[in-house]
Amino acid sequence: MLAEWLMRDILRAKARAEDEKFSPLQDYFSIDDDAMMTAKPVGIKMPCVTDEGIHYQVQWIPLYMLCPCRFFKVESLSLELNAYLEQRDRDDTTAVAPQVTLSKKARWWSNNTPVKMSLHFSESSGQTIRIACDEPMPAAPSPETD
């Protein structure tokens, strides 16, 4: 489901920038009413060194800001990540789309199954866009409404 959303948003942004020879990465990850996943916050697990040792804290940023590129032209881009579905701790009943958490640690939140996704799109080699999911996406729990 996540791969379908991301592919749809990338293809929609790609169609808008089809006439350009090179497109800024922000054109792929645009923010508008139609972009469902690109503006969604994702959690990045960041290591923090303290007196007690190393612990990790989650930093929430929009998905498109993982690769901010306002002043550079992108010819080729490859991303590989583990995605986890997660329910935020907020009491937000309006959020319909599942939250996505990205992590480099495969054992992080071991009760959730990571989905390895690799994204590659290139302007210089035939304008290809590819998203591959190695594992099936786990079902997202439905938000409870009282």
Tens-place pLDDT, residues 26-67: 444 444 444 444 555 666 666 777 777 777 777 776 655 655
- Containing 12, the helix (H) or strand (E) segment is helix 2-16
Dmax (CA) for the chain in angstroms is: 54
Which residue type occupies 99?
Q
Token reading at 58: 């989650």
3-state secondary structure (DSSP) of residue 129: strand
Q: How many helices (H) and strands (E) does the chain have?
A: 2, 6
Q: Are strands 41-50 and 99-103 parallel, antiparallel or unpaired?
A: parallel
Domain range annotation of the chain: 2-133
Tens-place pLDDT, residues 78-124: 555 555 544 445 455 555 554 544 444 444 444 444 445 455 544 55
Phi-psi region of 127 (alpha: psi -120 to 50; beta: other; left: phi over 0): left
